[in-house]
Amino acid sequence: VPPVASLKSVAPFPVGAAVSINLLKTRPAYRQLMATEYNSITAENAMKFGALHPSATTYNWVDADYLVDFAQQNSMRVHGHTLLWYNSLPGWVTSFQGDSAAWENLMKTHIQTVVTHFRGKVQAWDVVNEAIDDSGNLRTANVWRQHLGDQYIDRAFRYAHAADPAALLFYNDYGHEYSTARRTGILALVNGLKNRGVPIHGVGLQMHTSSNITDARIAEAITSAAATGLKVHVAELDISMNPGRSASATFTPALAAAQKVKYKALAQTFKALPAAQRYGITTWNVADADTWKRNDCSCPEWPLPFDDNYQRKPAYDGLVEGLQ
C-alpha cells in the first residue's frame, strides 16, 4: 500500500492537533508535520486564561497570534481552547476579591475581550472546560461556580456568542468513554443548555484514553454525544499504552499493533456519524516525544500517531485506515 500524503488528504472532516508554540518555533520537523498533516489546530496552552490574561489589566496575545498566523498561512481552522476552566488560572483570578457582580464582570470581560480579539480568526471555542466531576455533578472545586452559581455556564456561552455570533461554541470534558456517571452528567448539562436555548453548537470529548478501554466503550461515548444532535469533536485524543504506569514498560511491536487497531476503530466510528455532526478529530499534540502524558505519569508513554523522531507509527496507519 503506498503511503498517503497526509491525514488531511484522506479525512472527510478536519483533522487537527494541539500545538506547542515553542516547538512550532524551534523544531522544524514538528512545524513541518503541523503544516502538512493537519487542517485544524488547537493551542495546547497558549489560549488558556493565564496565558492570555496574566494580570488583571494585561493581555498577552503574542503566542496565540503566532499560532493564528501559522494557521492562516497553512489554511487551517483554529479551534480555541479554552475560555473558562477551573484550572490553569493566573494568581490574580484565584485570589480575586469581589462580590458576585465583580466576578461576573471579570468573567464577561475575559470572554468577550478574547473572543473579540480573535473574531473571524478563531472559528470555534471550548467555552467551558471540565465543569463536571466524577459523580456527574457540577464540580465544586471551581472558582467560577463558587462565585457565580450553577448558571455561570449558560452566561459564559451567551457572552461568547454575543462577541462573535459566527463562532461555534463547544462544551468540552473528559471521561465519556470510561465513566457512565461522567457521561450522563456531561450530556445532561449539554442537553440542558440546548433546551434552554443557550447558544451551544458542539460537544468536545477529550478522549485521553487508553488500551484498557474497549473500542465498544469509545464508540458508545461518540454515538451518545452525537445523540444530542450537536456537532462532535474528539478534541484531545491520545491513547495510552501504559495504563499501569510501569516505569520499565517498552513499546513493543505488539503494543504498536494494538494501538493501531484502537486508532482505526475510533476513526471508523467517528466517520460513521452524520457529516454535519463531524466537527473533527484532534490529537493532543503530535508526537510521543512531546506528549503531556509523560509529565503526568512520570513513566514511559507512546500515545500519539508519530514517534519520538516525528515519524509515522502504526497508530498513524490505523487512523488513515479508519478515515479512508
Active-site residue numbers?
130, 236
* 292 makes contact with ligand G3I (CB under 6 A): yes
Burial label, 98 (beta-carbon count in 10 A; 0-12, 13-18, 19+): exposed
Indicate which single residue of 39, 40, 179, 206 sits in contact with ligand G3I (rule: CB under 6 A).
206
Tell me how far apart the alpha carbons of residues 128 and 200 are, in angstroms, rounded to a whole number.
11
Least spacing, CB of residue 22 vs ligand G3I, in Å: 8
**Inter-axis angle of helices 215-226 and 180-195, to 10 degrees?**
10
* 49 makes contact with ligand G3I (CB under 6 A): no
* 88 makes contact with ligand G3I (CB under 6 A): yes
Least spacing, CB of residue 65 vs ligand G3I, in Å: 17
Question: What phi, psi does 210 have (nearest 5°)?
Answer: -155, 170
Provide the mask over 153-192, with x wherever binding to ligand G3I is found by CB under 6 A and - wherever it is not: ----------------------------------------
Radius of gyration of the chain (CA): 19
Least spacing, CB of residue 89 vs ligand G3I, in Å: 10
Between strands 168-173 and 208-210, the pairing is: unpaired
Least spacing, CB of residue 324 vs ligand G3I, in Å: 28
Indicate which single residue of 63, 164, 177, 236 sits in contact with ligand G3I (rule: CB under 6 A).
236
Dihedral (CA of 53, 54, 57, 63) sign: negative
Alpha-carbon distance values, 148 to 98, 106, 144, 156 (Å): 11, 11, 6, 11
Cβ closer to ligand G3I: 88 or 105? 88
Helix or strand (DSSP H, E) at 217: helix 215-226
Tell me how far apart the alpha carbons of residues 302 and 193 are, in angstroms, rounded to a whole number.
37
Indicate which single residue of 37, 44, 288, 321 sits in contact with ligand G3I (rule: CB under 6 A).
44
Number of H helices, E strands in the chain: 14, 9
Please identify, among the stretches 43-51, 185-193, 247-255, 312-320, the one whose residues bind ligand G3I according to the rule CB under 6 A: 43-51
Tell me how far apart the alpha carbons of residues 32 and 226 are, in angstroms, rounded to a whole number.
33
Least spacing, CB of residue 172 vs ligand G3I, in Å: 7
Least spacing, CB of residue 276 vs ligand G3I, in Å: 26
Which positions from 112 through 141 interact with ligand G3I, judged by CB under 6 A?
129
Please identify, among the stretches 40-48, 134-142, 145-153, 178-186, the one whose residues bind ligand G3I according to the rule CB under 6 A: 40-48
Tell me how far apart the alpha carbons of residues 89 and 101 are, in angstroms, rounded to a whole number.
19
Cβ closer to ligand G3I: 152 or 292? 292
Cβ closer to ligand G3I: 44 or 301? 44
Cβ closer to ligand G3I: 206 or 277? 206
For residue 174, how many other CB atoms are within 10 A of its CB?
20
CA-closest candidate to residue 56, choices 95, 83, 82: 95
Cβ closer to ligand G3I: 293 or 312? 293
Please identify, among the stretches 44-52, 105-113, 145-153, 257-265, the one whose residues bind ligand G3I according to the rule CB under 6 A: 44-52
First to last CA, the chain: 13
Question: What phi, psi does 211 have (nearest 5°)?
Answer: -60, -20
Measured over all CA atoms, what is the biggest interatomic distance in the chain, rounded to whole angstroms?
63
Least spacing, CB of residue 158 vs ligand G3I, in Å: 23
Can you give the binding site for ligand G3I, defined by CB under 6 A? Answer: 44-45, 48, 87-88, 129, 206, 236, 292
